[in-house]
Structures are given as C-alpha cells and as structure tokens.
Amino acid sequence: MPKNQEPVYYGDYLKLDRLLDAQHPHSPKYGDEAHEEMLFIIVHQVYELWFKQVLHELRSIYRLFQQPSLGDSDLYTVSHRLRRVLTIQDLMNDQVAVLETMTPQEFLAFRDYLVPASGFQSIQFKELEIMLGLTRARRIAFDQQSFYNRLHDDDRNYLEQLEQQPSLFDCVDAWLARMPFLEFGEFKFWQHYQAAVNAALDRDEQIIRDNSVDAEQLAQELQGLQANRDNFSAIFDAERYAELQQQGAVRLSQRAMLSALFITQYREEPVFQLAFQTITALAEMDEKLTIWRYKHAMMVQRMLGTKIGTGGSSGHDYLRRTTEQNRVFKDFFAMATYLLPKAALPQLPDSVKRALGFQRD
C-alpha cells in the first residue's frame, strides 16, 4: 500500500451508489411496473459498459498504430488487446440469450413507454463503427441517411467530427503498405508466385471440367474461376487495381494487399506470428460484429416479428441488410483464394530469408 493511500472499499471503488441507482423503469409512471423492464435496462447498460471497454482497447491500439513504426513489442500489445476485444465480443454475442428470456408479451407490456428511443441512438456503438472505418460513405444507402438522424445535436456533432479522423482501417493499411515485401532485389518472388497461383488455377479448371454435372453449372463455375484469375492479376496492375477499389471489390491499398497476402501465405513462420495474429484478429472482430448484428436481428424478430421498434422503424430488417455489407476488413477474408500449399511455394533464397528473419545465423 503506497504511503498516504486511503484504505479502499469495494463499493466506493466501483462507484456502486451511482451504478446501482441508474435503473429507473418508466412503466410505474403509467401503471403497474412491468417486471421485465429492469431486465431490458440492465441488458442495455451492460452492453454500454462493454462498449466503453472495447473503445478503451481500440483507442490504445489506434495510438500504437499511429506511431511511425510498430516494433514487435507494440505488435504484441496490439494483438494481445485485440484478443481481449474478441473475448468480450463472444460474451456480448452470448448475451443476446439473456434478452431472449423475455417473451414478446412481456416486452409489449412496456414498449409503448419508450417511444421513440432506439438502440440506434447508442453513441458508443456508432463511435466504435466509425473508429473501425465504417464511415458514412461506406454505408449502405439507407444507412447514410439515417445514421445521424434522431440524435441530439451534441451527439451528432461529436460523431461527425470523429468521421474526419483517420480510422483504424487507415492505420492498418498504412502499416501494411510500408512493409518491405514487394521487392527482394534480384529475387523475383512475385513473378514466381504468380506463376504458381496460375498453375493452381489451371488445375482447378481441369477439376471443374472433369466433374461438372451439366452445362449450366460448368459455365457458372468457369465464370467464378475467371473472376479469380482477373482479380489476382489485378493485384499486380496499379490501374486495374484502382478499378477494383472504385467498384468496392477491394478496400486495402495495393501495397497493403500484397503485404497481407505475403503474411497470410507465411503465417506459420514464427517471424510472422504477431502480424498474422493481428490481421486475423481484425477479420474476426468484423465477423463477430456481423454475428452480433445477426443475432440481434433474430432476437428483434422473435420479439416483434415485423412490427416496428420504438423508434418507429422495423429494425430487424435494417439489421439484416447491414449484416454483410458492414465488414471493414473483409479483404483479409478473401485472401485464402490465392494461397498455395507449402510444397508449391517458390523457394526463398537464403539472403531473403535472412532479411525476413527466417534464419538466425
């Protein structure tokens, strides 16, 4: 105990007087207390506490990424804290089951008293989305209009100012883009790699032709394969890559995409452990957010069917539509398309291995 330290009491430290006096159901103002309103309040308050914690982690990660360079030790901290965020997300996803113990009839007993409040007014959740990189322009059309509606002015101003800053996505892209995996002097890694991927795609084409069950499926599969060929070759062509970006097919910059591919291909090498864990954790964060939105949508549907929510919109439908589009780090997910088995990899020259830390002398 540091000198001059006052003895600490559990309830004071946690500010329980404040925390446990923040639940004020509205139903008693209009009639009998609806027993389940307490559950409704506490479930949402717990979500807000977790949002606060997730923002605490993401802000600290953001600060690390904003440094000119990111050392191994910082990268450990980043990946350690991202894993914490994922653990919290698992809990938040399971928490939907708690609200599902409320029946529709129990909810209807106080729903009308909450009009027009809505979970879409959670500033912390919106801040989380913006910080990740889900900015206005990236949203689905409907969302672009409605995202800033129904908010108090100061809340809206706060969020709009956040939009002006670089997002975590931007930081991650910059970090990947400055990695030295694009040229290795004499060694033409990427030419070899392209050749090996193309050989693999040729083999896939043969499998499709040998096993297709009818002409329609054959055509469809070949078309998919051709898209893979086109996308892959575009990664090496600045102009065509820019087109893919414009179409929204990819979001990472070209250099960042190549680095991410290199890291993913060599994921098993000890030297790439932390970098691979980091990009994987970002993709999983997206995935768990998607699952949260999905579970939330299903819960709302169980509760209200296609009735409207208290904010006057049929939330479940909205949630459904955004479930897929809102991934920020989806490029990391598509990476597997271009991976090769170890046996098919171009052999790295010793000088390159040494430079990349694969070899200790």
Q: Using CB under 8 A, which residues numbered 225 to 254 contact a copy of itself? A: 225, 227-228
Helix (H, G, I), strand (E, B) or coil at 91: helix
Name which of 44 and 178 has its Cβ closer to a copy of itself: 44
Cα–Cα–Cα angle for 287, 288, 290, nearest 5°? 65
Shortest distance (Å) from residue 157 CB to a copy of itself: 15
Phi first, then psi, for residue 252 (nearest 5°) are: -60, 155
CB 52 within 8 A of CB 123: no
- Answer for which of 188, 203, 219, 237 binds a copy of itself (CB under 8 A) is 203
Residue 40 annotated in ligand binding: yes
Q: Among 28, 67, 101, 157, indicate the residue that binds a copy of itself (CB under 8 A).
A: 101
* Residues in binding contact with a copy of itself, number by CB under 8 A: 127
**Does the footprint of a copy of itself cover residue 206 (CB under 8 A)?**
yes
Report residue 120: phi and psi, to 5°: -70, -5
Residue 208 counted as an annotated binding residue: no
When asked if residue 97 is in the footprint of a copy of itself (CB under 8 A), the reply is yes
Paired tokens of 60: 């600290």
Torsion from C-alpha of 246, 247, 253, 256, nearest 10 degrees: 180
Binding residue for a copy of itself, selected from 114, 177, 242, 249, defined by CB under 8 A? 114
Q: Is 66 in the site for a copy of itself (CB under 8 A)?
A: no
Buried b (16+ CB within 10 A) or exposed e, 285-302: bbbbbbbbbbbbbebbbe
In 3D space, the residue among 334, 354, 140, 341 whose CA is nearest the CA of residue 252 turns out to be: 334
- Determine, following the binding rule CB under 8 A, whether residue 273 of this chain makes contact with a copy of itself: yes
Q: Is 43 annotated as a binding residue?
A: yes
Shortest Å distance, C-beta 40 to a copy of itself: 10
Contact status: 311 vs a copy of itself (CB under 8 A) = yes
Question: Helices 168-177 and 123-132: crossing angle, nearest 10°?
Answer: 20
Binding residue per annotation — 46? no
Q: Binding to a copy of itself (CB under 8 A): which residues in 25-44? A: 26, 30, 35, 38-39, 41-42, 44
How many angstroms separate the CA atoms of 120 and 147, rounded?
8
Binding status of residue 170 toward a copy of itself by CB under 8 A: no
- Binders of a copy of itself in range 139-168 (CB under 8 A): 145-146, 149-150, 152, 155
- Does residue 22 belong to the site contacting a copy of itself (CB under 8 A)? yes
List, as residue ranges, the binding site for substrate: 40-44, 111, 310
